[in-house]
Amino acid sequence: MRSIRSYTRILLLVCAMALVLPAAAYAKSPYTGYIYNSQDDDKPALNGYLYGDSFDGYDMTSGSFKAPEDLFVTPDDTLYVVDSGNNRVVHMDPDTGAVFTIYGDKEGKGALNGPKGIFVAKDNSVYVADTGNKRIVVFKPEGAFDREYGLPQSELIGTDFNYSPAKLIVDKRGYMFVSNEGSTLGLMQIRPDGSFAGFYGANHVPFSMTRVIVKLIASKEQRDQLASEKPPEFSNLFQDNEGFIYTTSLGIRFNQVKRLSAVGVDTLNSGTHRYGDYYMKSVDGEFEHETIVDVSVSKDGFITALDQTNGELYQYDKLGNLLFIFGGRGNQNGLFKTATSVAETSDGAIYVADRERSRIDRFYPTPFADKVHEASILYVDGKYNDAMKPWQEVLQMDSTYDMAYTAIGKAYYRQHKYKEAMTYFKLGLNRGGYSDAMFEYRKVYIKAHFGTIMTIVIICFILLQVLLRYRRKRKIAKKRSEFLGTVKGGGVSGSH
Amino acid sequence: MEAIKLVRQSLFHPFDFFYDIQFEKRAKLINALAIMALACVARIVSLMLSGFAFRTREAVDVSIPIEILWVLIPWVTWAISNWAVSTIIDGEGKFKDILISSSYVYLPYILLIIPVSLLSNLLTLKEISIYGGIYYFMYGWMAVMLFLQVMIIHDFEFGKTVGIILLSILGMIIMWLIIVMIYGLVNQAIVFVINIMKEIRYRS
C-alpha cells in the first residue's frame, strides 16, 4: 500500500516537474546551417542564427512599412528604419514596438522622395540620403527639418556627374561619406559646410587576362566599341564604434567587404579574400553573381555581410574568418525576398530589412553562436590559451567546425606542445600550421634523440663503406681473372 | 635477377637499352604490363604515404580507378599517337616496340615517387624546394628517357625527334578531346533512350 502511494507521489512529482520545465520552443529552420571549411568545401554546420520574429509596422503607431531600404541602430539600441515607400524614416524601439519620432514631412523642405540611406550622428541629428531629391537632408532629433546638402561644387566632380546619394555615414569631424549610386569614383567626402573634400577609397579595376587578350587581338574600332572598364562601385558603408569605415562593393568576386583606414586603404584583407557564396547557383546556364548590399559590424568586431542575390547573411570575425552562414531566399519566415539592409543591436540580435515583403526580420544567435563568439573574441586578440576552453566546447557541439581545431592547434603551439598542435592542425586541415608545428617538433625530437640518430647514421655509413669496398674488390678480382684468361688464351695460341 | 638487370640497363644505359630492345626480341609485353602495374601501385601508395603538409588531396578525394587511369591513359595514348605520327614521317619503330619501350619511361617514377612521399613526412613547407627539386629531377629523367626512346626506336636525328614529340603530344590531346566528345554524345544518347523508356512506362 505504502509503496503504491510513494509511486503515485513520484509520478505526480514528475508530472509537476514537466509542467514547471519550460517547454522547449521547437521550430524547424527553413535553412540548414553550413560553412566553408579550410578546403573551401561547403560542409554542414550548426546554425548560428535562427529566425525570431518580424515587424512590419501594422500594429505600431507608425502604420505599416513600405519597401524599407536601410536600417540604423544607435548605441542605445533603438532602431531607425528608412521606410522608403512611405518617404519617411521611423525611429522605434525594436523590443516594445514603440515609435518615438517619424522624420519626413508631408510637404516643404523636409519632404523626402525615395530615401535610401540613413546615419544618426552622436548628437542624434538624423542624416538621410534623400535619393529621389538628389540631396542629403539633416533632421533635428525631434523631427524638424534642419538643413540640406545638394551636389557640392567642385572641379573634381565633372559636369556629367549623376548625383544620386544612396548611403552615407558621418565621421567624428562631421564630414559626410556618401556612396553615390552608379558612381565608380569612390565615396564622396562632403564637409559640414557643404563643400567637396574629395573622393575617398576608390576601388581599382581588377586585373583581367581576358581584357588583355581582347585588347591584343581587337582592332581600334572594336576596342572603342568595348565597354570601358570601370572600377567596382560601392554599394554600402558602415562605421564601427572605433570610427573605421567598412564598405561593400558590387561586381567583384574578391574583397567585396573592406575596412578603410583614414587614407582610404583596405586594412581588412591582405591579398584577396573571398566573401559571400563560393558556389553561386546557375540559373538558365548562367551563374548568378553575388550582390553584397550591406554590412554591419558588432561592438566585438563581428562583420555580418548581406548578399541580396541569394538572401544569405555571412558572419566573419575581425580577421575575416567565416563563422556562420544563415538566411536564404524564399517565402518562409527566416528567408527573404529582397533583403536590403542588415543591422545589429548590442544584445546580438540581427535585423534584416526586406524591401519586397515590407518588413523587418529579427534573428537571434543560438547558444552555439554565443560559444563561438566567446571563443572568437579571445582568439582574434591573440589570447589563444584563454580561447582554448571555449573552442573545445564549440567542438563538443559541432565537431566539424574547422576553425576551432586550428585555434586549439595555435594554443598548443604557443604552449610548446608541438605534437598536440600537429594533431589539431591536421584535424583542422591547416597545412601551414601543421608544417610550422612539425618544424618545431622535429627540432625537439632531434635534440632529444640525438644519440640514437647519430648512432644510426654512423652505422649506416660504415655499412655503406663496407659494401662499396666489397664490391670494388669483387670487380677487381673479376677483371683480373678475365685478364688472366685472355693472357692464358693468348699464350696458348702464341706457342704454336 | 634478369628483371633487375633490365631495369638497371634501361635507367643508366638507355642508349644501348632502347637500341637492343628492337633487335634481340627483348620487347616483351609482359614486362611492360608489369611496369605499368608497378607504376599504378606506386602512384596510389605514394598518395597514401605522403606527409600531411604536402598532401594536396584528402584520402577521401582519391579514387583508385581514376588514379590508375591517370597512369595508363597517357601511356596508351602516347604509344598510339607516337606510332601514328612516326609511321607517316618514316619512323622505323613498330607499334609493339613503341608501346613496350615507352613503358620503361615510367621507371624513374616507380623508383623515386615512394621515397619522395616518405621523405615528405619528415619535411616541412620550409623545405619545399627539396621536395620540388626531387620531383623536377624525376620528371627530367623521364623526359630524357622519353626523348631517347623516340630518337633511338625510330632512328631520328635530334631536330626531327623534337618535332615528332611535339606532334605526338598534339595527337594525344586531339585523342583526348575526341574521347571526351564521344563520351558526352554517347552519354546523351543513353540518357535520351532511358528517358523515352521512362516516358513510355508512365504512359502505358
Distance from CA of A438 to the nearest CA of B (A): 7
Strand order in the sheet with A145-149: A117-120, A126-130, A135-139, A145-149
Per-residue pLDDT of chain A (496 residues; tens, 9 = 90+): 556 667 777 666 666 665 555 545 555 788 998 999 888 888 899 999 999 999 888 888 888 999 999 999 999 899 999 999 999 999 999 988 899 999 988 888 889 999 999 999 988 999 999 999 999 999 999 988 999 998 888 888 877 888 899 999 999 888 999 998 888 888 899 999 988 988 888 887 777 787 788 878 888 777 777 766 778 889 999 998 888 999 999 888 888 999 988 888 888 888 888 898 888 888 877 888 889 999 999 999 999 999 999 999 999 999 889 999 999 999 999 999 999 999 999 999 999 999 999 999 999 999 999 999 999 999 999 899 999 999 999 999 998 899 999 999 999 999 999 999 999 999 988 899 999 999 999 999 999 999 999 999 999 999 999 999 998 998 888 888 877 776 665 544 444 4
DSSP letter assigned to residue A70: E
Instruction: Report d(CA B29, CA A406) in Å as an integer.
Output: 51
Q: Which residue of A39, A429, A432 is in closest CB contact with B125?
A: A432
d(CA B101, CA B78): 11
Backbone angles phi, psi at B6, to 5 degrees: -60, -50
For residue A83, list its beta bridge partners: A68, A88
Q: Which of B55, B58, B124 is the closest to A439 by Cβ?
A: B124
Q: Calculate mean pLDDT across residues B133-161.
A: 91
Distance from the Cα of A155 to chain B's closest Cα (Å) equals 53
State residue A315's pLDDT score. Answer: 95
**CB-based contact A431 B55, cutoff 8 Å:** yes
Cα distances (Å, whole numbers) of residue A341 to A241, A255, A360, A455, B179: 19, 19, 9, 69, 50
- Cα distances (Å, whole numbers) of residue A221 to A122, A208, A214, A225, B75: 54, 21, 13, 6, 48
Phi, then psi, of A82 in degrees rounded to 5: -85, 100
SS3 A83: strand
Contacts of A186 (CB under 8 A, 6+ apart): A199, A200, A201, A202, A203, A234, A264
User: C-alpha dihedral over A110, A112, A118, A120, to 10 degrees?
Assistant: 10
Give the cell for residue A409: 592547434
> Residue B58 and residue A436: Cβ atoms within 8 Å?
no
* CA A168/CA A119 separation, integer angstroms: 6
A92 and A114 in contact (C-beta within 8 Å)? no
Confirm or reject contact between A429 and chain B (CB < 8 A).
yes
Q: Spell out which residues of chain B touch residue A436, defining contact as CB-CB under 8 Å.
A: 124
Q: What is the pTM of this model?
A: 0.79
Distance CA A302, CA B141 (A): 53
Phi, psi for residue B29 in degrees, rounded to 5: -60, -35
Are the C-beta atoms of B160 and B90 separated by less than 8 Å? no
Q: By three-state DSSP, how is residue A324 classified? A: strand
Half-sphere exposure of B93 (CA within 13 A, CB side): 33
Helix axes B95-103, B14-23, angle to 10 degrees: 150
Strand pairing category for A145-149 and A79-83: unpaired
A60 at B interface, C-beta within 8 A? no
Task: Answer yes or no: do B124 and A429 touch at CB < 8 A.
Answer: no
Give the number of other CB atoms < 10 A from CB of residue A398: 18
Cell of A86: 512611405
Q: State the ipTM, two decimals.
A: 0.79
* DSSP letter, residue A131: G
Q: How many CA atoms lie within 13 A of A475 on its CB side?
A: 6
Grid coordinates given for A38? 579550410
Cα separation values, A409 from A316, A331, A370, A413, A425, Å: 20, 42, 21, 6, 5
Q: What is the pLDDT of residue A496?
A: 46
Best CA proximity match to B164, nearest among B102, B96, B84, B72 = B84
Q: What is the pLDDT of residue B3?
A: 76
d(CA A206, CA B134): 37
- Determine phi and psi for B90, rounding to 5 degrees: 20, 60
Whether A45 and A314 have beta carbons less than 8 Å apart is answered as no
Minimal Cα–Cα distance from B52 to chain A, Å?
Answer: 7
From CA B125, how far away is CA B137, in angstroms rounded?
19
- Give CA–CA dist A300/A348, Å, rounded: 10
On the question of pLDDT at B1 being above 80, the answer is no
Place of cell 524564399: A330
Q: A311: how many CB neighbours lie within 10 A of its CB? A: 21
Average pLDDT over residues B75-94: 88
